[in-house]
Structure 1
Amino acid sequence: MRDVARAVEMSPMTVSRALRGDETVNEKTRDRIRRVAADLGYVYDSTAQAFRTQKSGFVAVVLPSINNANFAETFRGLSDALTGSGVQLLLGSTNYRLEKEEELVGQLLTRNPEAIVLTGGHHTDVTRKLLENAKIPVIEIWDLPPDPVGHVVGFSNADAMSLIVQHLVRQGRRKLAFVGAAAGSDMRGVARRDGVIAAATALDLTQVAQIDAGPAPVSMRHGAEVVVKLGPAIATYDALVCVSDPVAFGVLNECRRLGIKIPDDVAITGFGHFEIAAVSSPRLTTAGVHANKIGRKVAGVLQDIFAGETSAQWIDVGSELVLGETS
């Protein structure tokens, strides 16, 4: 900073105020100091300012996976909507493990984030205690938890799957199988499975088969392996209700390889309205859950929080049935 001050022939205090955006330094001078600092390769250290103001300038975001296109789209919507706000995002990934989320939350809170965004409404007791003690805004996304920690921006996984089941039953499909991750390894997957069973029961279907595709996160490969394992017997079901579009795509490709006609022999549905659902051949029937909209709504909640709004917000972005050619 002294080097910058010498270059502009001003005091280090003036340089410091200019670099942190203090309007007591006129705009023309601030611009000149920033240009000189950039030419010298100087980066302003905001640590002292954060300590003084108790504002770190960033929000922590915890996602189950950075490989999942829908979670990436949610992050993009949030990031795009915060452009120009001065807020930066610090991202962590749990790989669908609650104990990893607990570890990440503990680490992130040491960085003094101004808010934290968590995917889902299921957390360990330790995580909930950490969040309560931190006394910062918490936003839970991609779920509608019955006992939220703070703000909520999400949808009902069960309701989304109910749309799919109702559609299949209207077509006369009666023997359904749910294809998803091993029990307990993906709480949103569990909610989707339970939603399928509840919707089927309400429509007088006596049983929904459950096909374990492996530990979360399950992918196209896992979907294909389910069909390889069961072989032509997979077509004894009227419909395969898959936990996600990638799993459904894997199931679809392997069924076609075996000569099983889709949807004549068996219907296949996905979840999430991924890009792959629209470009697959045939196109997948799926549930759209507005991933980008979730991110943008979260940004709106954050902006309200930073503006001084203190009441908890509950935002249900809903879901929709997206008809394809596989049902």
Structure 2
Amino acid sequence: MTDIAEAVGVSAMTVSRAFKGDASIKPETRAAILSKADELGYVFDATAANLRQSRTGFVAVTVPSVENANFSATVRAISRELGKKNIQILLANTEYDPDEEERLINQLLRRNPEAMIVTGAQHTKRTDELLRKSGIPIIEIWDLPQAPIGHVVGFSNGDSVRALVEHLVKTRRRKIAFLGGETLADPRGAQRRAGFVAALGAHGLEAHRLVPLGSAPVGMSEGATGLDLLLEQFPDTDAVMCVSDLVAFGALAQCARRSVSVPDDIAIAGFGNYEIGRICEPPLTTVDVKAEVIGQRAAELAIDLLSGNMDDSAHLRHVIRPDLILRRSTP
């Protein structure tokens, strides 16, 4: 089935459904599959097909960190929606490590999940091969990959940051810095930094105030340390865009310790719309990436695929539109 699927350009699941006469398969697709099967001398094994009907009842989900509130919100939404159909999740925490992701995905696939929801779109070559040859629906979330493995539910980190930079520029801030983690360990953080650099460049502003905070995940402690490093290197900075609300909160707390007024002396903005950003003083300007909506849409898509309401070969790209949330940490 894998050979036929690769030759025709569909998934192994689509091949299986075509042989079983599934009405969701387009006639022209089924004809192409049957023709290629005849060409390759493939004979459908009804016994094996019957064994395949035994469902495992779970969908595998990977996230970079179970401690991150946004990823937790995504997982909760996935679990809630799948639970309505008596489908459970098998969760794996990759710790922002591509090699660990590869190991975990290999382990998960051995347990025959009915589908897999993968956070992020940058994988090792081996992980990419495992997912593409898995024969199950694959849904990549939180990113918008240029060459998706299967289906996508995500948003553009770069575009989201541009809206935030536009706001800072409109409020007459010109010496704007970025606090974030090491780019190789955090692809989404790297995309935000790239969006930040591009947005400043579009306004003819220098984008050299880039302070790395170490390997992901980075949080409040790194934000406080980063603020000190930033002001040591660039004491005239008038605005800071942080890779997350946690980093922004750390920077905000350090400003209070140093008697730096926010936003009068320096404006601070975060990313992610975490709860801490809503209750701190002053509340943080941020970007709401709609983490729960991402999980809900991914789960709904998985349900449609597993119920046969959608052809797995018709790869869906669902784009989430984050919202800019303006609060008192910026003018």
The TM-score normalised by the length of structure 1 is: 0.82
* Contact 1:61–1:92 under 8 Å retained in 2: yes
Aligned counterparts of 2:189 and 2:230: Cα–Cα separation in 1: 21
* Contact 2:209–2:234 under 8 Å retained in 1: no
Matched, 1:318 2:306: no
Select between 208-217 and 184-193 the one with higher mean Cα deviation.
Answer: 208-217
The TM-score normalised by the length of structure 2 is: 0.81
| Root-mean-square deviation over aligned CA pairs | 1.5
Aligned counterparts of 1:56 and 1:288: Cα–Cα separation in 2: 35
Shift of 1:227: 2.5
Shift of 1:299: 1.2
Partner of 1:17: none
Alpha-carbon spacing, 1:234–1:223, altered in 2? closer, same or farther (3 Å):
farther
What is the letter of the counterpart of residue 316 of structure 1? Answer: V
Partner of 2:188: 188
Shift of 1:185: 1.1
Shift of 1:134: 1.0
Aligned counterparts of 2:159 and 2:52: Cα–Cα separation in 1: 47
Shift of 1:132: 1.5
Partner of 1:286: 286
Aligned counterparts of 1:125 and 1:222: Cα–Cα separation in 2: 31
Identity %: 44
Partner of 2:207: 207
Matched, 1:124 2:130: no
Select between 82-91 and 257-266 the one with higher mean Cα deviation.
Answer: 82-91
- Number of residue pairs the alignment of both structures matches: 278
Gaps of 5+ in 2: 1-49
Partner of 1:220: 220
Aligned counterparts of 1:119 and 1:161: Cα–Cα separation in 2: 20
Q: Deviations over 1:263-287 (max 9, x none)?
A: 1111110000011110011000000
* Contact 2:179–2:212 under 8 Å retained in 1: yes
Partner of 1:7: none
What is the letter of the counterpart of residue 279 of structure 1? Answer: I
| DSSP-derived class of the 2:83 partner | coil
| DSSP-derived class of the 1:60 partner | strand
Partner of 1:170: 170
* Contact 1:163–1:320 under 8 Å retained in 2: no
Q: Deviations over 1:117-169 (max 9, x none)?
A: 11111111100101112111100000111110000001100011011000000
Shift of 1:323: 0.4
Q: Deviations over 1:227-259 (max 9, x none)?
A: 244556664212111000000000000111100
What is the letter of the counterpart of residue 321 of structure 1? Answer: L
* Contact 1:96–1:186 under 8 Å retained in 2: yes
Correspondence 1:219-238 to 2 at 5 A: 219-230=219-230, 235-238=235-238
Shift of 1:205: 1.2
* Contact 1:178–1:210 under 8 Å retained in 2: yes
What is the letter of the counterpart of residue 191 of structure 1? Answer: Q
Shift of 1:301: 0.3
Aligned counterparts of 2:291 and 2:224: Cα–Cα separation in 1: 25
Partner of 2:244: 244
What is the letter of the counterpart of residue 327 of structure 2? Answer: G
Alpha-carbon spacing, 1:153–1:296, altered in 2? closer, same or farther (3 Å):
same
* Contact 2:211–2:229 under 8 Å retained in 1: no
Aligned counterparts of 2:67 and 2:206: Cα–Cα separation in 1: 36
Aligned counterparts of 2:108 and 2:248: Cα–Cα separation in 1: 35
Matched, 1:88 2:98: no
* Contact 1:235–1:266 under 8 Å retained in 2: no
Aligned counterparts of 1:90 and 1:290: Cα–Cα separation in 2: 22
Aligned counterparts of 1:183 and 1:84: Cα–Cα separation in 2: 38
Matched, 1:99 2:102: no
Aligned counterparts of 1:230 and 1:238: Cα–Cα separation in 2: 11
Matched, 1:64 2:64: yes
